Structure 1
Amino acid sequence: MAQNIIEQLRAQKKQYNSTENKLIDYILQDTVRAREATIRELSNGSGVSTATISRFAKKIGFDSFRDFSMSLASATTTLSPVDFFGEITDNDDTDAIAQKVFAGASNALKATVNHLTASMLDTATHYLVAANRVGFFGIGGSSLVAFNAYHKFLRTPLNVIAHPDYDIQLMQAVKLNNHDAAVVISHSGRNKDTLLIAQKLKENHVKVIAITAFAESPLAKSADLVLLSLAEEINFRSESMSSLIAQITIIDTLFTLVGSQLSTRTQDVVDTMRTTIEETRAH
């Protein structure tokens, strides 16, 4: 897995200001030109100052413009934003719409996995395995991902908690401590209720893994580790739909990594659950 900065910029455009978007648009309009450009050439072409470009490179996680430029040079993309995320038009028939919706989900997964690194996933796995308790938190659509995570991780030896009710989530967050870990899920990373949960977790020194689409969101900035779910907004549906699929797949990945690391103990839990669930089925 290697970070594809082109996919990241395309998926996260709306979180940046108008000046930064001028630079992003310039890069996306001709990625070949941008890959080869010096900071002065990017400045002249985009109309953005070299100082702003340098600050932007650091803002999105690079140590310098040189590192940003090297990432641009190694990025691979041949699809326009419309092609990549499946913009739907009035002329599309049923088959075309279905193809574009599935392609959008597939490409959101591709963009997400290309941004993840083994180091990020290893760190997240370590937080989960080392924790006394693991809490999964999310509101609205993200609550579906949180409860899906809870359902999966019940099949591991981990002591996990989750609840669909917000007030109970908040009480659960307050009870966690520095020996615990939490996965907080929010597409925007800006929901005030979710941020209150994250605040309480941080006050108790809980290790927080954020799953969000926006690296500059308040949730991402408060977390110990951020796993980005990348998807771009298109018409007729929110980008959060594709992001939801990416979030669930991140959870699946963490579940598989934890299960692999605790393979024997996980298998024992799974076997016990299968036996118990089988007793509920008619024969």
Structure 2
Amino acid sequence: MQQSGFARIKSLRDQLSGSDKKIADYILDHANSVQGLTIKGLADAVNVSTATISRFVKRIGFSSFREFSLSLTAVMQPDNAFFGEIENNDDTNAIVNKVFKGGENALSSTFNLIPTESWDTACAWIINARKLGFFGIGGSSIVALDGYHKFLRTPIDAEQHPDYDVQLMQAVRMRDTDVAIVVSHSGRNLDTLKITRQLKANNVKVIAITAYVNSTLAKLADLVLPSSAEEINIRSESMSSLLAQLAIIDSLFTLVGVHLGPDTLEIVDSIRQAIDHTRE
């Protein structure tokens, strides 16, 4: 399933300039109407030539304007839609298939968004950290807890708490030898941003996991591991983005676990033995 034009533009926007950036901004600012425009209509709206539009869509990975236009239509939804592409006449199989396809698309798009250098940097920071803190509010706390749960199986000293006040106190106590992983789908949650600013005031290295690379959280962070989803507007916590964020956590855990080798295996075996005693 190909990534939509909206998601592709959002992921590449920081790399665009000149006419390409002008076109990208227009499309994102007019998401509810742009899918109906012809190549000439879009060119007239942005005040560029049709050739410029054609080069733009190829530059962001589409073979033609038609393919690009269809990718926009595929993710359009009514303003009051909560379940995205789900239609009233969809049967059980169709609904489940769309949910799974959305998850598959978010995972493949996220994989393509994060360069190897970012994984290597994040891994090195975590391995050398005195303490690793996980932070997330609301739905993002699920990802933070998953990260904490996994990194308990490594030699890394990790911490996480679901309560905002406790998270803020933890941020106050962290210092420049520590690393924080801050999770927020929108990157705009005010409580999350307050925690992040406290971390930055303490010179803590901040790794942000967010679907919006131009958000305030992304700009505050030292490193961004973007998660991809097909939402055009932020209406609710993204189900597909959550899957992608959990995959990012899994990848970080696996990278760190492999690098630390025997030390990780020793802890994993000890935890497994302890848990086995609680089972029949």
TM over 0.5: yes
SS of 1:146's equivalent in the other structure is: helix
- How high is the TM-score relative to the length of structure 1? 0.77
Alignment of structure 1 residues 204-223 onto 2, 5 Å:
204-223=202-221
- How high is the TM-score relative to the length of structure 2? 0.77
Q: Is the 8 A contact 1:177 1:206 kept in 2?
A: yes
Q: Partners of 1:23 and 1:138 in 2: how far apart?
A: 31
Distance change >3 Å, CA 76–CA 239, structure 1 → 2: farther
Letter paired with 1:136: F
1:22 and 2:21 correspond: no
Distance change >3 Å, CA 191–CA 142, structure 1 → 2: same
Distance change >3 Å, CA 149–CA 175, structure 1 → 2: same
Shift of 1:279: 1.3
SS of 2:186's equivalent in the other structure is: coil
Partner of 1:75: 61
Identity %: 49
Q: Is the 8 A contact 1:186 1:212 kept in 2?
A: yes
Partner of 1:66: none
Spell out, residue by residue over 1:94-131, the C-alpha distance to the aligned partner (whole angstroms, 9 max, x if none).
Answer: 11011001101110111111111100111111111110
SS of 1:80's equivalent in the other structure is: helix
CA RMSD between the two structures: 3.5
SS of 1:228's equivalent in the other structure is: coil
Alignment of structure 1 residues 1-283 onto 2, 5 Å:
7-9=7-9, 20-23=24-27, 44=43, 46-48=45-47, 72-73=58-59, 75=61, 80-81=71-72, 83=74, 87-233=85-231, 238=236, 240-282=238-280
Shift of 1:74: 6.7
Spell out, residue by residue over 1:105-162, the C-alpha distance to the aligned partner (whole angstroms, 9 max, x if none).
Answer: 1101111111111001111111111100000000000001100100000001100000
Q: Partners of 2:58 and 2:125 in 1: how far apart?
A: 31
Q: Partners of 2:62 and 2:110 in 1: how far apart?
A: 14
Letter paired with 2:143: V
Where in structure 2 are there 5+ consecutive unaligned residues? 14-20, 77-83
Distance change >3 Å, CA 159–CA 5, structure 1 → 2: farther
Shift of 1:80: 2.0
Spell out, residue by residue over 1:219-270, the C-alpha distance to the aligned partner (whole angstroms, 9 max, x if none).
Answer: 00000000111102289x8461111111000000000000111111110110
Shift of 1:19: 7.6
Q: Partners of 1:234 and 1:5 in 2: how far apart?
A: 10
Distance change >3 Å, CA 21–CA 103, structure 1 → 2: same
Q: Partners of 2:203 and 2:48 in 1: how far apart?
A: 40
Partner of 1:64: none
Q: Partners of 1:195 and 1:103 in 2: how far apart?
A: 32
SS of 1:221's equivalent in the other structure is: helix
Q: Partners of 2:164 and 2:61 in 1: how far apart?
A: 40
Distance change >3 Å, CA 81–CA 23, structure 1 → 2: closer
SS of 2:230's equivalent in the other structure is: coil
SS of 1:214's equivalent in the other structure is: coil
SS of 2:141's equivalent in the other structure is: helix
Distance change >3 Å, CA 4–CA 123, structure 1 → 2: farther
* Count of aligned pairs between the two proteins: 249
Q: Partners of 1:5 and 1:129 in 2: how far apart?
A: 37
Shift of 1:181: 0.2
Letter paired with 1:87: E
Q: Is the 8 A contact 1:8 1:115 kept in 2?
A: no
SS of 1:208's equivalent in the other structure is: strand
Shift of 1:22: 2.4
Distance change >3 Å, CA 272–CA 72, structure 1 → 2: farther
